[in-house]
Homo-oligomer: A and B are copies of this chain.
Amino acid sequence: MIRVGIVGATGYSGVELIRLLSGHPQVRIERLYSSSAEGTELASVFPHLEQIALPTLMSIDPAAMAQETDVVFLAAPAGVSKELTPQLLAAGGRVIDLSGDFRLLSGELYRAWYGKEPAADEHLAQAVYGLNEWNQEQVKRARLVANPGCYPTAALLGLLPLAKSGWVAPNSWIIDAKSGVSGAGRGVALGVHYSEVNENVSAYKVGRHQHTPEIEQELSRQTGIETIIQFTPHLIPMTRGILVTAYGQLTKPVDMSELQHLYESTYADKPFVRVRQPGSHPRTKEVYGSNYCDIALHLDERTGRVIVLSVIDNVVKGAAGQAVQNMNTMFGLEETAGLSLTPVYP
């Protein structure tokens, strides 16, 4: 049994990790850590977890954590991981970090987009970007996995086959993304107040969302072409789900069957990516509670553009589920272990 520890168990990603890991046949949830809620029983905060036997929340002590666990999931806000991860690694631990602290290779970019001090370059260099479908080999050998952001997961899985094909002008990509509110986490704020969000839709952080350089970095890395994209997130009155609608300008004529074949062959052996019928319109509810990413392709001959639709559950494939998938890969397990979740519909 893999002994896992979780930091940030009182957040939405943390509680979802518990849902997934408590049903994982090769895992034991050994420790739950918290900097603020030491001594708390999680079921007192989340009564829906009452039937699961869980350890009491413990304080954070990197040396002990590396000892007591085989891997630590960090589901804490940006900035926490930066401090904790180097200590865990130094103590011999393995880390899957769900924050943005180790996703960007360039500390300068982190500073510019996150408005915080980055981790040291030597630590950034240790991280493997855990977009499992594309970096599985590196993840296998990783001691530190930077679990991708929710938007980048949906965007990159949707765009990479085409980006690598060279059929789309790299800097033409416009990624218009729609997210449920859980992506903002469990912290209270006016921006997540029910009466402010319900029966309402808006864009936010136009041109300055911190997932922009993450998408650009991975597109550039996978294609070898420095890529600048347009990314706009929107807040949708729903709890879970991300839909990415991405527009790319074709550089040569392609037909639908080529496009479809490109995606089907790329993801043929990837159990969590489902390439949908040409011209279909995947809905976020169709992946609700599951680790799937459903992708559909549209070719608009009038405009010479391809439109990629990509949906995930931001809490699963966009966070906890992908983290478990990465753990499976790191420990040589079946990729789907603990993740055979049929979407909850309706």
Please, how many residues of chain A have a CB less than 8 angstroms from a CB on the other chain? 87
Stretch from A82-90, A141-149, A231-239, A260-268 forming part of the interface with B: A231-239
**A211, chain B: closest CB distance, angstroms:** 14
The residues in A between 324 and 346 inclusive whose CB is less than 8 angstroms from any CB of B are 340, 342-346
A270-287 residues at the B interface, CB under 8 angstroms:
271, 274, 276, 279-287
A55-63, A182-190, A218-226 - interface stretch: A182-190
Q: Is A240 close to B, CB under 8 A?
A: yes
Contact: B194 with A186, CB < 8 Å?
Answer: no
Distance in angstroms from A166 CB to nearest chain B CB is 20
Q: How far is the CA of A299 from the CA of B243 in the complex (A)?
A: 24
Q: Which of A181-232 contact B (CB under 8 A)?
A: 181-182, 186, 188-190, 192-204, 206-207, 228-230, 232
The answer to whether A288 has its CB under 8 Å from any CB of chain B is yes
Nearest opposing residue in chain B for A285, CB measure: B200
> Contact: A195 with B346, CB < 8 Å?
yes
Asked if A176 is at the interface (CB within 8 A of a chain B CB), the reply is: yes
Task: Let me know if A245 is at the binding interface, CB within 8 A.
Answer: yes
17 A-B pairs, CB-CB below 8 angstroms? Answer: A15-B345, A48-B343, A174-B174, A174-B305, A176-B176, A176-B232, A176-B247, A181-B194, A186-B346, A188-B190, A192-B195, A193-B193, A200-B238, A202-B243, A203-B281, A207-B303, A230-B300
Q: Which residues of A contact B (CB under 8 A)?
A: 12, 15-16, 18-19, 22-23, 46-52, 171, 174, 176, 178, 180-182, 186, 188-190, 192-204, 206-207, 228-230, 232, 234, 236-241, 243, 245, 247, 271, 274, 276, 279-290, 292, 294, 298-300, 302-303, 305, 307, 309, 311, 315, 340, 342-346
